[in-house]
Amino acid sequence: MPILNVKVSAVRSPDLTRQIADLLLELTTRVLGKNPDVTSILVEYVDPADWVVGGSTLLEQGKRSVYFDVKVTDETNTKQEKAQYIREAFDGFSRLLGDLHEESYIYVQDVRAAAYGYGGRTQEARYHLPD
């Protein structure tokens, strides 16, 4: 049930949107162990002339960047899983976008189960102990 909010410095493209969604769905499923059927991904495009890093636009620097956050229920992933996810996502975006600025951010946000949910129910309400 994670939701991913992605901002990418590139020209809007249905093909790139699909590639980003495929990359993140695969990583979120394989590395974080999340169910792909309830994973949502929102991709927004930002003109490189409107993205400033270190006082210069990405357009001026000839670079690309990405920022995304993924919200997961607290205590469902280890530090190692989150570190692997961030590393593999950065590498994946480097392959997709080309010259990726090091100042590209990935935020795995641990959200309390009682304060997070979908379909009108919290994750805490969905939790069931094994019989």
Q: Convert the pLDDT of each residue in 23-70 to its tens digit.
A: 999 999 999 999 999 999 999 999 999 999 999 999 999 999 999 999
The enclosing domain of 67 has a CATH number of: 3.30.429.10
In-domain check, residue 122 = no
CA 76, chain centre distance (Å): 16
In-domain check, residue 73 = yes
Residues 6+ apart with CB under 8 A from 42: 3, 4, 5, 6
Q: Convert the pLDDT of each residue in 19-36 to its tens digit.
A: 999 999 999 999 999 999
Give the range of the structural domain holding residue 89, as residue numbers without chain letter: 3-114
In-domain check, residue 92 = yes
Burial of residue 53, with CB atoms counted within 10 A of its CB: 0-12 exposed, 13-18 middle, 19 or more buried:
middle
Global pTM value: 0.89
